[in-house]
Amino acid sequence: MSIRSLAYGEILWDIIEGEPFLGGAPFNFASHLARFGATSAIISRLGHDDLGRKAAARAVHHGVDTRYIQQDAALPTGTVEVILQHGQPDYIIFENVAYDNIRYPEFAEKVNAASFDVFYFGSLIQRNVVSAQTLKNILTHHRFPHIFYDVNLRKGGYSKNIIGDSLASCTILKLNIDEVPVVSDLIFDRSHDTKTFAEQICEKFAIAVVIITAADKGCFVFHQGVLHAVEGVQIELCDAIGAGDAFSAAFVYSYVTGKNVAEAARIANQIGAFVASRKGPIPDYPDEIIRLVTGA
């Protein structure tokens, strides 16, 4: 069994120590899912420039369906300056770029009757009113069995309204352990511990699954009133860029194809750890890593 996934959001170039890596959490997610054999498409927008042309070609190379990638004649392809400190990234995210201007009519005229199992989105893509409204239109006019929201907080890329609207739209929520108090303060005006946060966020927003990642310490998954603690994988860290997106893709593939949440999280931890042990957000996968997810 395979799955059909539609991601929404930024395609951009991470400039890491002067070297460009194609990325953006939604693009990374889509690319990792394609590696597992999923039918994986993305809705995004690129500039009519050299970086845009290279990004579109690389998306095809990674097996991502590019039919919903738009082209902007005025705004440039997105870029991010990444500063690594002990393997952990900090970001300077440039504004007024093509992915801030994703247009719903351009998507609606191309989307066919094919159904998708999963829809993925994050917070950053909602910083601009045009792309934020397009997201609302998609969620209003199209139905998806699973809607995956990766909080993925970035400076200047979120607000209380963005977080609240997103939580109200998703069925699966993912955030990291450092984002829990931030989201808790925004939504509940107080910091909750991990279990209380998961319980209350599920109750308030009718979310089916809450995933809280904690890097090498593993993750927590809350589902049907139970908080599962899933042990992490110890690796020699190269850089953590894209590791969370690989985790998300592996979890989604495993869960949607029938694994329980704890098993899906165990597999996802292994995939995220592998990516963190390599340079860049989308390293080549050896066959045994792909088999961990697909079983084939």
Q: What is the mean pLDDT of the chain?
A: 93
Closest to 120 (Cα-Cα) out of 211, 217, 197 = 211
What does the pLDDT read at residue 78? 97
CATH code, 147: 3.40.1190.20
What does the pLDDT read at residue 31? 97
Number of domains in the chain: 1
What does the pLDDT read at residue 90? 80
What percent of the chain has pLDDT above 70?
A: 99
What percent of the chain has pLDDT above 90?
A: 79
* The model's pTM: 0.95
What does the pLDDT read at residue 1? 63
- Domain region containing 97: 4-294
Centroid of chain to Cα 164: 17
What does the pLDDT read at residue 198? 98
Residue whose entry in the numeric block shows the structure tokens 């990642």:
213
Q: Beta strands 219-223 and 19-23: pairing type?
A: unpaired
Per residue in 84-108, pLDDT (tens digit) is 887 777 888 999 999 999 999 999 9
Helix axes 261-276, 287-294, angle to 10 degrees: 160
What does the pLDDT read at residue 113? 56
Dump strand ranges (E) for the chain. Answer: 4-8, 12-16, 19-23, 39-47, 69-72, 78-85, 88-93, 118-122, 146-150, 172-176, 209-213, 219-223, 226-230
Low-confidence spans in the chain with pLDDT less than 50: none
